[in-house]
C-alpha cells in the first residue's frame, strides 16, 4: 500500500529527556505498525530544536483515528507528556 496521509507530531524535548522519548518511540513502533488500522510507516526525526514522529497512513481518516486510539491516549501520550518542555504540535497532511 502507498502512504496517502502523514500524521506529524512535533515535540520540544530537552536533550536530557531525548533517550526516554526514543525509548517510547521504540517500544510502540512495531505495535503501532501491527495493530493500528491503516498504519504503514513510523519514523523518528531528530533536530537540535525538536523531535518529530512522522506516521504514514493509508488515509487521513486513519491518521485522525489514531489520535483517539487507546494506544495513543493511554500509552504513547502518557509516556511522552512528562518529557515535553512545551505542548506538541500535531498536523495531518494528505499526499498530493
The domain spanning residue 24 has which CATH number? 3.30.70.100
Q: What is the pTM of this model?
A: 0.94
For the chain, state the CA radius of gyration: 13
**Residue 59: domain span:** 5-94
Q: How many CA atoms lie within 13 A of 9 on its CB side?
A: 22
pLDDT digits 0-9 by tens, 65-94: 999 999 999 999 999 999 999 999 999 999
> What's the pLDDT band for 1 if we cut at 50, 70, 90?
confident
Cell, residue 42 = 513510523
Cell reading at 44: 523518528
Length of the chain equals 96
Domain count, the chain: 1
Contact 42, 54 (CB under 8 A): yes
Amino acid at each position: 500500500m502507498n502512504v496517502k496521509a502523514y500524521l506529524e507530531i512535533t515535540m520540544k524535548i530537552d536533550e536530557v529527556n531525548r533517550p526516554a522519548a526514543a525509548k517510547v518511540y521504540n517500544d510502540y513502533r512495531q505495535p503501532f505498525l501491527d495493530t493500528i488500522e491503516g498504519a504503514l510507516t513510523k519514523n523518528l526525526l531528530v533536530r537540535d530544536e525538536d523531535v518529530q514522529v512522522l506516521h504514514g497512513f493509508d488515509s487521513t481518516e486513519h491518521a485522525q483515528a489514531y489520535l483517539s486510539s487507546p494506544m495513543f491516549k493511554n500509552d504513547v501520550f502518557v509516556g511522552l507528556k512528562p518529557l515535553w518542555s512545551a505542548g506538541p504540535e500535531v498536523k495531518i497532511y494528505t499526499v498530493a
